[in-house]
Amino acid sequence: MPDDVFEHPRLAAIYDALDPDRGDLVPYVELAESLGARAVVDLGCGTGVLALLLAARGVDVVGVDPARGLLDVARSRPGAGRVSWLVGDARSLPPLQADLVTMTGNVAQAIADPGDWAATLAGARDVLRPGGHLVFETRDPQARAWTAWNRAASYRSVELEGVGEVRTWVELTQVDLPLVSFRWTFVFGRDGAVLTSDSTLRFRGRDEVEADLTAQGFVLDDVRQAPDRPGLELVFLARRPG
């Protein structure tokens, strides 16, 4: 079941407006270019920002996500017809020979269940051609990002075009490492509606991810920083041998 923040139509509709700076995606576009990727699967594509950036550069893109709410937003965007959108996860992909599979925006952490995570890596491997790459980011547990996930540090009031004022904040509900659970609250000024969304993320360290990749037959080529979030993220670049 997707989290409400990804599924509820009212929350999906404001998802991008609340987080408009997608400078985090630039290194992924550059990586696709440097690898000469012509066919990309964006796993957990959300509202499709990366998929559309790549498609606009002539790349064949499959965008897959279990959240219909976010995919409906993706499908409504200019250029959406250039992307193949799929509701599902790595287990629902058709046979492909992709050059690159991406998981941006810490999708990896949203896949908290170990069996689902193993199936995700296996599914990514299976849609890659031999020699194709998988790249994804995950918050470095050593940076303890959750310590800032409280109302005081996260409270925002934003005025969104066509929506009006939205007040939003996040609060931890449980820290039971490696799992961290939290609740987003959204208050819509126009009608006073209050919506909440509960999520649980898994924080995996470098050694754990490396072992998980190896177990699914990947070769780890590099572990990088996210240039826009130095010291906070681990970005894994793995390859299907061939």
Ligand X SMILES: C[S@@+](CC[C@H](N)C(=O)[O-])C[C@H]1O[C@@H](n2cnc3c(N)ncnc32)[C@H](O)[C@@H]1O
Q: Enumerate binding residues for ligand X (CB under 6 A).
A: 2, 6, 43-46, 49, 65-67, 70, 89, 104-107, 110-111, 116, 120
Q: Compute the least distance from the CB of residue 45 to ligand X, in Å.
A: 6
How many whole angstroms separate alpha carbon 237 and alpha carbon 121? 13
Please identify, using beta-carbon distances, which residue of 89 and 212 lies nearer to ligand X. Answer: 89
Q: Compute the least distance from the CB of residue 143 to ligand X, in Å.
A: 17
Nearest CA among 1, 6, 144 for reference residue 69: 6
Please identify, using beta-carbon distances, which residue of 189 and 229 lies nearer to ligand X. Answer: 229
User: For residues 45 and 25, is the Cβ–Cβ distance under 8 A?
Assistant: no
Query: How many Å separate Cα 68 from the centre of its chain?
Result: 14
User: For residues 63 and 74, is the Cβ–Cβ distance under 8 A?
Assistant: yes
Please identify, using beta-carbon distances, which residue of 107 and 135 lies nearer to ligand X. Answer: 107
Please identify, using beta-carbon distances, which residue of 132 and 138 lies nearer to ligand X. Answer: 138
Q: Compute the least distance from the CB of residue 2 to ligand X, in Å.
A: 5
Q: Compute the least distance from the CB of residue 190 to ligand X, in Å.
A: 26
How many whole angstroms separate alpha carbon 26 and alpha carbon 40? 15
Q: Compute the least distance from the CB of residue 42 to ligand X, in Å.
A: 7
User: For residues 203 and 106, is the Cβ–Cβ distance under 8 A?
Assistant: no
Please identify, using beta-carbon distances, which residue of 43 and 83 lies nearer to ligand X. Answer: 43
Q: Compute the least distance from the CB of residue 216 to ligand X, in Å.
A: 15
Taking CA atoms, 66 is separated from 35, 40, 111, 174, in Å, by 27, 18, 11, 24
Please identify, using beta-carbon distances, which residue of 70 and 166 lies nearer to ligand X. Answer: 70
